[in-house]
Chain A
Amino acid sequence: MSSIITRDAPRGFSAAEYMTCLTGIVWREGLRFLHQRERFVSALVRPLVWLFIFAAGFRQVLGISIIPPYETYILYEVYIAPGLMAMIQLFNGMQSSLSMVYDREMGNMRTLLVSPLPRGFLLFCKLLAGTAVSLLQVYAFLLIAWFWDITPPPSGYLTVLPALILSGLMLGSLGMLISSGIKQLENFAGVMNFVIFPMFFASSALYPLWRVQEGSPYLYYLCEANPFTHAVELIRFAFYGQINWISLAVVAACTIVFMIGAIWAYDPSRGLARRGPAGGEG
């Protein structure tokens, strides 16, 4: 019987174990995404509605002057494409946060959190997995957008990738941070109203900021301070093989801050502990 009790010396975790865990989480998130076809379709339809309908209607209203990174006059569709790519990631980030709230209520989150690997690492894996899913969505969107004359230089599809990864991580960790503060699923409507819409509209996604400045300087400052603006600009420049250093710095800094915040909030001795039981008893 004593063979049962042989006590291991603490041995930590090998790099291979971390890798296995990371690929496992990404793999599972991908599988789940593929099984939720409605989610994929709606993730695709949303930006396409903006592209096909909104942009077509606004094309005549809003003239776009030549601003970097563009070198010629561009169609409005071309202008908002990067904004829509970021929007896909914004929704995806918030949707993962929704699924985390759901997971926590339903108990799925527990299977993740009882893994012996460090919790910060687990949450980081979850973020990477969510970002990977958003990349699938963005590239599917770009494929369709190509037929709609959104045609960057071919290398743009590659150069935009690191920008998308970074912005995906930023928006994902923001979602995770928010999800740690949401007690119940129903509050997601609040996230839509107070996070997604303001972030999207008070940004450079739909209109260049110089236009905003003409209308309202205050709104301009708000847009400039909005991390989402910088995600959009980072993607926009990267799409044309350029780097917007200020946006890169802002997005990188926000990613770090949001991620630390989320990991902090999910630390059992802090964030979650203050709340009541997750529904098991009451």
Chain B
Amino acid sequence: MTSPAPITEQREAPRPDPAAVPALAIDGVSHSYGPRRALMDVSFNVQPASFTALLGLNGAGKSTLFSLITRLFGIQSGRVGIFGHDISRSPGEALRLLGVVFQPRTLDLDLSLTQNLLYHAALHGISRREAAARSAELLGRIGLADRAGSKVRDLSGGQMRRLEIARALLHRPRLLLLDEPTVGLDVKARADIISHVRQLVTEQGIGVLWATHLFDEIVAGDDLVVLHQGKVLAQGPMSRVVAEAGAQDVNTAFMRLTGAQVMPGGGT
């Protein structure tokens, strides 16, 4: 087991401006499953109040990275910091600031919307009374207030996703991770969810890391991290990444960066 050197608290200390602490700092992270290397020396930051798209095909290592950030797997080498809290050293403080929407659905289908939210709140130690108030408020915001008592099973795919996002916001995190949240949704539901999350960035200053392989979900002002076969090929503001690749759009830039071996749904 590699033991990471002491992290960020000291490293960030010389900076006077607390705003400089990234919402998420990935620093030299590598990970392998036995002989198979899933991530190789991955480093990038997500700033508060920014929308960072993590772009990669299936098998690029996105899910592994998410598992590491959410502490589902231990970090083999490198460091992950959430607002300066090292995920390995002070996981409690780090996870408190983190909201996650995983790619597979993770709701209890037989429980009601409210019950799902209350369970999540309890996992964060939020008292029942406070949790009930927040749940009602969030359900109102995602337009599902009148469905509060229905079973999750009866919701549409898009509604479930919205509920999962609401759930991820229940403990008021300042960093939100979403792993391909729009997969399998129709055009309208996709647009709703994207605009909702973008609103969170601009209105509440939440830092968002949005993993996707759908190029049309990325717009000009976004930050972009291109992950391919476990390596970061490019990162920075979208316009710069596209320009540096000598391309006109994200799609072409991605093809140029990743080379000829790109095939839809490819990967390991």
Contacts and interface: CB of A to CB of B under 8 A. Distances in A.
Interface of A: 1-8, 10-14, 16-18, 20-21, 23-25, 27-28, 31-32, 35-36, 106-108, 110-119, 122, 267-270, 272-273, 275-282
Given A10-B93, A114-B100, A5 B74 contact: no
Contact of B123 (A1, A25, A32): A25
The size bracket of the interface on B is: 35 or more
B213 to A, nearest CB: 11
A229 B25 CA distance: 52
6 contacts: A5-B21, A13-B92, A21-B123, A28-B108, A113-B72, A280-B63
Contacts of A16: 125, 127
Nearest to B105: A107
Contacts of B93: 8, 10-11, 116
B104 interface: yes
Given A28-B108, A108-B108, A269-B1, A278 B122 contact: no
Contacts of B119: 24-25, 27-28
A2 B19 contact: yes
A3 B102 CA distance: 28
A27 B122 contact: yes
Contacts of B225: none
B63 A281 contact: yes
Contact of B72 (A4, A31, A272): A272
Contacts of B105: 106-107
A24 to B, nearest CB: 2
A277 B67 contact: yes
B267 interface: yes
A193 to B, nearest CB: 28
A20 to B, nearest CB: 5
B118 interface: yes
A153 B100 CA distance: 52
Contacts of B226: none
A4 B48 contact: yes
